[in-house]
Amino acid sequence: MIGPKKLNTIRQELRHALAASGDDPIRWLEERMTAPKAQSPIAPPGDEVLHSLRRFLEGPERGKRQTQRVRTKK
């Protein structure tokens, strides 16, 4: 079950969690995407999850509306 929580609520929760350290959430992600593994006490993850999160946090105005346009063209 996908549950009742809306995407914009999830976005707010993630922004809040990533900003808890005082950083801008996007900057937080960027730092981890570019950090060399050897310099991090916790090995930074690969690209898929962080790239997805960055796109997601960049805002609701992209993405889903594109999907719907693609769908209506079928």
Partner 1 sequence: MATPFPPPLTPAKQRARRNRAARIARQLGFVGHVEYRHVYSQTGGAQYGLGSAAEEDLLTVYAEAFERDDDPEDFSLEAIVAHERGHQLLARHPRIAKRVRGRISAGSEEILASLLGAMISVAEADRDALVAKATAELLVHEETPEVATRRLQELWELLEALL
For the bound state, the minimum distance from the C-beta of residue 23 to partner 1, rounded and expressed in Å, comes to 10
* Longest distance between any two alpha carbons in the chain, whole Å: 48
CB 57 within 8 A of CB 18: yes
1 binds partner 1 (CB under 8 A): yes
| Min CB(34)–partner 1 separation in Å | 14
Tokens of 42: 């916790």
Kindly report the number of other CB atoms within 10 A of residue 25's CB atom.
20
Interface positions with partner 1 (CB under 8 A): 1-8, 10-11, 13-14, 17-18, 20, 28, 32, 42-46, 48-50, 52-53, 55-57, 60, 62-68, 70
